[in-house]
Amino acid sequence: MNARTKTAVAVSASLLVACTTVDTPTPPNTLVVSRAAAAPVLDGNAGDAAWAAARPMAVKLSGGANFGGSGETTATLKAVTNGDKIYFLLQYADPTNSTRRGPYQKQGDGTWKKLTDPADKGGDDNTYYEDKWSLIWNINDSIAGFNQNGCAVLCHVGEGKPFGNKYTSKDGELGDMWHMKGSRNGVFGQVDDQYVDATRYDKDKSPNAGRKGDPGGPDYKAFGLVNGKPEFMSKDGKAANGGGTYYVKDGDQVAFDDRKFKSGDEVSSYLVYKLLGDRGDIDVAYRWQNGTWTYEFSRKLATGSKFDVQFTDPGNFVTREGRINIGEESMT
């Protein structure tokens, strides 16, 4: 798809460790975590025996900007645990693989221009963006109303942004946000581990309101035009629309050489960094094939971080509420 999902929401998803067969009825909106004899391999392929034995949960999403113009898709989630880790499989239909995030394009007169959605009212580009999704967990059941209403208690529309802001109502309420960005941290095999607190929106002091990264960033950095040309390019010297990428990995950047590019070529406008420590503790592998996204991701059951939900006691899985957003949400 070529734009973000503006209001993609889903039902709450409790986690329950399976101790019965996959045919046993479970409560509505409950994602059963099966115990796997062998952990799935994170390769973006859902063919592992662990996934075949796991119980799926379907989540219907609507109110989006794209997905073939319907704004709707259905996500399927599975979860298993093995050793000290929990693994998730997420699949959903999407007619396009979107990687073209805010590129610079060389014009016919030799100048460079950043491509933007003409309908963008400020941070909601629905044309030049990436595939994304997010999961939010209620840390220690601290967020009042979240288990019943999910993101509705965190998401605040307006406030200077077309897509709104995320923050909790009170100090001490904390959510663990797993934020997958296909053309940024995903290229390092990582989901950006973030959190949501009670910080209110202020365009100067807290432009991202309560949504913050765990310690271990930065995650990416945009760069501008210098003397009319992009500041960096990838060392392979390829145009993004000619076998290159719409991102530049930190360490691969070199000074821009305008001679390598012709009219119509597109290049990246940002550097991406490998996440460290607390912020980089969620691994992911993903694949888009035949109009369907497949994501496999995992994290340790217990990280010890105050910014993470802890799956230390299988009994606790019942009370951990998940909320999923899928799309190309134009949040930085």
Sequence ranges of the domains in the chain: 13-94+131-219+273-327, 104-122+220-271
Q: What is the mean pLDDT of residues 263-268?
A: 98
Please tell me the least confidently modeled range out of 130-139, 241-250, 257-266, 296-305: 130-139
Element (H, E) at 146: helix 146-149
124 pLDDT band, cuts 50/70/90, is confident
* pLDDT, tens digit, 9 for 90 and up, residues 234-264: 999 999 999 999 999 999 999 999 999 999 9
CATH 2.120.10 fits 13-94+131-219+273-327, yes or no: no
329 pLDDT band, cuts 50/70/90, is very low
Please tell me the least confidently modeled range out of 33-42, 276-285, 317-326: 317-326
Q: What is the mean pLDDT of residues 55-61?
A: 89
User: Does the structure show a pLDDT above 50 at 13?
Assistant: no
d(Cα 152, Cα 48) in Å, to the nearest integer?
Answer: 35
User: Does the structure show a pLDDT above 50 at 123?
Assistant: yes
Q: CB of 271 within 8 A of CB of 232? A: yes
The whole-number pLDDT of residue 32 equals 87
The whole-number pLDDT of residue 315 equals 47
The whole-number pLDDT of residue 324 equals 53
The whole-number pLDDT of residue 2 equals 36
The whole-number pLDDT of residue 25 equals 67
Q: What is the mean pLDDT of residues 321-327?
A: 53
The whole-model pTM stands at: 0.89
56 φ, ψ (degrees, to nearest 5): -85, 155
75 pLDDT band, cuts 50/70/90, is very high
Q: CB of 43 within 8 A of CB of 12? A: no
User: Does the structure show a pLDDT above 70 at 174?
Assistant: yes
The per-residue pLDDT of the chain, averaged, comes to: 86
1 pLDDT band, cuts 50/70/90, is very low
The whole-number pLDDT of residue 285 equals 98
User: Does the structure show a pLDDT above 70 at 18?
Assistant: no
d(Cα 255, Cα 248) in Å, to the nearest integer?
Answer: 12
Contacts of 297 (CB under 8 A, 6+ apart): 42, 87, 88, 90, 178, 180, 191, 282, 283, 284, 285
Closest CA to 2 of 331, 332, 238, 330: 330
- DSSP class of 202: B
* pLDDT, tens digit, 9 for 90 and up, residues 191-214: 999 999 999 999 899 999 999 999
Contacts of 227 (CB under 8 A, 6+ apart): none
